[in-house]
């Protein structure tokens, strides 16, 4: 009897484990499956239920496994939504959108096939449709517990759509998080699917449970041996610059966290060694996972109706770009309270050189405007000192010199900066501390143009251009200034954060685009199963 009970328990555990593995809840959805180059793809991602990462990555990959572009999205309650700009230069063909999280590198990824046509040469050289083959397809579950009411089979262009969505209470209690509700044109000849994909390349990554992690290794350029005790700076220039530092351990590794930045940012990574004989070199880790082995494809003929549909879409997108019709609007975020002062603290004094006479170089500026700052340039070997207000003597060491918040070691960088180049100068005439770092005075120069080209990249300095958390967007309200200008939206409703309730309404207007459209409601259950309900209609 005991053996039977044990076997029964083991069977229950095995079934539960299999179900959990099967229903990971990891999937990616786009507003459509067919695009024109230069368009914007709207995205919704359900991340694995057992993954605490706050970041999910989306990559655009070509059939040969080459990554073209990508974004990082902020995850909230195991869901994320955003957009991906499709480059105008893409050739026509099938592409893959890859979704993954860093600590699932080399493990579980989701890929979805989409078709992108170049808007300058229609179908280009494409003679067939490539479709993914040989991978495990992710099948969502169609449910009859979500009822889509009041959707007609046909609508006229520029007419109102009003639908009532009703969800059975028993299902409502099982839904995890928000719903995706969308209405968009579909192309019956190319319906994209999602697949599970385990790459044979990649490595374990840290769980990004607080934000994006930038990492790398400091080595000795002469010996390639990891450097211990090297100090690494991360600076993000701004009116209040961001700053972090890291001291490497025996493996030479460093890590920085980006958790309060949105949109495109510029970052500077610098390293300094404690030994004069060492030549430190920075090697950054790739932010995105390597593509790995390309999946297999099968070829299908291109239907004539598909070619005609693409031609119509190209005309529509070209028209929208000519008339600058915005499809999306950026949503404003609640701004967190910013620090009043930069990381070096409240300055002893601040000087605005542009309020004074024009001075051609920093030597003249220091003499005429910066009391307590001594900058000299003897025989092309500049020196910089700051007075210590506590002792009324100059610090013997060189102060922390900053340009737009970026530490600068080479004084030659500032020697030719005149009053026209400088917006303000902060001066700290005492010792300042940041963690274990000690600064014998600070001279912080904020430039008028934020021109970082004067800071040359080297083995010790890397300039990165990054996309931090993506700013959220929503569909723009249709605004057609003249009756003669058509409304050419293919996506007429998109709400990836619909709060589930027993009954809610969906209201929108059709555009002047004709064809087959589909209303889809999609959500995830607490066991990881993705469910959906949909209705198609024609716009004529």
* Cα-based distances in Å from 201 to 27, 197, 288, 458, 536: 21, 12, 12, 29, 40
Report the 10 Å Cβ neighbour count for 493: 20
Closest CA to 100 of 181, 207, 260, 253: 207
CB 447 within 8 A of CB 422: yes
Q: Is the pLDDT of residue 55 over 50?
A: yes
The band of 9, judged by pLDDT with boundaries at 50, 70 and 90, is very low
CB 108 within 8 A of CB 51: no
Residue tagged 């209303």 (tokens):
519
Distance, CA of 403 to CA of 390 (rounded, Å): 26
3-state SS string for 123-144: CCCCCEEEEEECCEECCCEECC
Identify whether 253 is part of a domain: no
150 with 294, same domain? yes
438 with 384, same domain? yes
Closest CA to 196 of 470, 520, 494, 530: 530
* C-alpha 302 chain-centroid distance: 34
CB 55 within 8 A of CB 72: yes
Distance, CA of 157 to CA of 237 (rounded, Å): 49
Q: Take residue 263 and report the two structure tokens written for it.
A: 């949109």
357 with 406, same domain? yes
Give bridge partners of residue 165 from the DSSP assignment: 148, 504
Q: For 143-166, what is each residue's pLDDT tens digit?
A: 999 999 999 999 999 999 999 999
Q: Choose one of 453, 487, 502: the last residue of a domain.
A: 453
CB 362 within 8 A of CB 417: yes
63 with 176, same domain? yes
Distance, CA of 533 to CA of 284 (rounded, Å): 45
* Segments forming the whole domain that contains residue 318: 25-201+290-331+472-539
71 with 152, same domain? yes
Q: Choose one of 418, 453, 488: the last residue of a domain.
A: 453
Lowest mean pLDDT among 39-53, 72-86, 291-305, 412-426: 291-305
Identify whether 527 is part of a domain: yes
Identify whether 17 is part of a domain: no
Q: For 56-105, what is each residue's pLDDT tens digit?
A: 999 999 988 889 999 999 999 999 999 999 999 999 999 999 999 887 65
Report the 10 Å Cβ neighbour count for 185: 22
Distance, CA of 148 to CA of 428 (rounded, Å): 65
47 with 119, same domain? yes
CB 446 within 8 A of CB 391: no
pLDDT for the residue 204 = 56
Report the 10 Å Cβ neighbour count for 472: 19
Lowest mean pLDDT among 102-111, 350-359, 373-382, 522-531: 102-111
pLDDT for the residue 198 = 76
Q: Take residue 171 and report the two structure tokens written for it.
A: 């299902």
Distance, CA of 19 to CA of 204 (rounded, Å): 24
pLDDT for the residue 124 = 62
397 with 490, same domain? no
66 with 177, same domain? yes
* Mean pLDDT value of segment 348-377: 93
Identify whether 10 is part of a domain: no
325 with 399, same domain? no
Q: For 259-305, what is each residue's pLDDT tens digit?
A: 888 888 999 999 998 888 889 999 999 888 776 677 889 999 988 88
185 with 323, same domain? yes
Q: What is the CATH number of the domain that holds 410?
A: 2.170.130.10
Report the 10 Å Cβ neighbour count for 195: 19
Number of structural domains in the chain: 2
Q: Is the pLDDT of residue 106 over 70?
A: no
Q: Take residue 35 and report the two structure tokens written for it.
A: 């695009």
Identify whether 323 is part of a domain: yes
411 with 514, same domain? no
Angle at CA 362, nearest 5°, toward 358 and 364?
60
Distance, CA of 475 to CA of 415 (rounded, Å): 50
349-351 vs 422-434, strand pairing mode: antiparallel
Closest CA to 243 of 452, 434, 470, 465: 434
Q: For 13-30, what is each residue's pLDDT tens digit?
A: 344 433 434 456 789 999
pLDDT for the residue 506 = 96
Question: What is the number of alpha carbons within 13 Å of residue 383 lying toward its C-beta?
Answer: 10
Identify whether 529 is part of a domain: yes
Longest dimension (CA), the chain: 98
354 with 324, same domain? no
pLDDT for the residue 11 = 41
* Cα-based distances in Å from 110 to 28, 59, 98, 131, 537: 7, 11, 6, 15, 29
Closest CA to 332 of 425, 263, 431: 263
Identify whether 57 is part of a domain: yes
Identify whether 230 is part of a domain: no
Lowest mean pLDDT among 209-213, 343-347, 452-456, 508-512: 452-456
């Amino acid at each position: 009897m005991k053996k039977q009970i044990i076997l029964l328990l083991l069977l229950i555990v095995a079934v539960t484990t299999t179900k959990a593995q099967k229903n990971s809840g990891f999937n990616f959805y786009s507003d459509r499956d067919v695009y024109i180059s230069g368009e914007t793809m709207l995205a919704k991602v359900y991340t694995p239920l057992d993954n605490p990462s706050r970041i999910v990555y989306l990559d655009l990959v070509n059939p040969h496994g080459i990554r073209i572009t990508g974004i990082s999205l902020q995850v909230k309650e195991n869901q994320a939504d955003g957009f991906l700009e499709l480059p105008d230069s893409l050739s026509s063909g099938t592409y893959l959108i890859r979704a993954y999280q860093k600590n699932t590198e080399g493990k579980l990824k989701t890929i979805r096939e989409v078709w992108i046509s170049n808007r300058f040469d229609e179908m280009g050289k494409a003679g067939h449709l490539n479709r993914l083959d040989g991978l495990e397809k992710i099948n969502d579950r169609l449910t009859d517990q979500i009822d889509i009411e009041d959707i007609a089979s046909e609508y006229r262009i520029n007419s109102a759509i009003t639908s009532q969505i009703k969800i059975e209470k028993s299902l409502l209690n099982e839904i995890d998080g928000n719903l995706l509700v969308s209405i968009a044109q579909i192309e019956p000849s190319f319906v994209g699917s999602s697949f599970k994909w385990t790459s044979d390349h990649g490595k374990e990554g840290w769980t990004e449970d607080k934000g994006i992690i930038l990492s790398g290794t400091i080595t000795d350029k002469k010996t390639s041996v990891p450097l211990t005790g090297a100090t690494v700076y991360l600076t993000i220039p701004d009116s209040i610059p961001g700053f972090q530092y890291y001291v490497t351990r025996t493996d030479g590794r460093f890590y920085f966290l980006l958790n309060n930045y949105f949109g495109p940012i510029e970052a500077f990574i610098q390293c300094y060694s404690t030994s004069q004989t060492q030549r430190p070199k920075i090697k950054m880790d790739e932010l995105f996972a390597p593509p790995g082995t390309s999946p297999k494809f099968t070829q299908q003929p291109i239907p004539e109706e598909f070619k005609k549909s693409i031609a119509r879409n190209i005309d529509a997108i070209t028209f929208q770009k000519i008339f600058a019709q915005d499809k999306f609007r950026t949503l404003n975020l609640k701004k967190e309270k910013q620090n009043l002062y930069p990381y070096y603290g409240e300055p002893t004094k601040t000087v605005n050189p542009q309020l004074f006479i024009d001075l051609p170089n920093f030597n003249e500026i220091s003499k005429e405007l910066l009391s307590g700052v001594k900058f000299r340039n003897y025989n092309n070997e500049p020196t910089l000192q700051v007075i210590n207000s506590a002792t009324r003597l100059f610090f013997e060491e060189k102060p922390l010199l900053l340009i737009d918040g970026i530490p600068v070691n080479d004084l030659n960088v500032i020697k030719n900066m005149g009053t026209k180049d400088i917006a303000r100068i902060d001066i700290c005439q005492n010792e300042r501390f940041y963690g274990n770092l000690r600064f014998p005075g600070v001279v912080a120069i904020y430039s008028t143009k934020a021109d970082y080209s004067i800071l040359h990249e080297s083995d010790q300095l890397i300039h990165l251009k990054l996309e931090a958390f993506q700013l959220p967007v929503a569909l723009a309200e249709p605004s057609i200034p003249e009756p003669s200008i058509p409304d050419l939206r293919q996506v007429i409703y998109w709400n990836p954060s619909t709060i589930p309730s027993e009954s809610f309404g969906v209201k929108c207007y059709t555009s002047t685009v004709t064809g087959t459209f589909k209303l889809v409601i999609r959500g995830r259950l607490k066991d990881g199963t993705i469910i959906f309900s949909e209705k198609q209609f024609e716009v004529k």
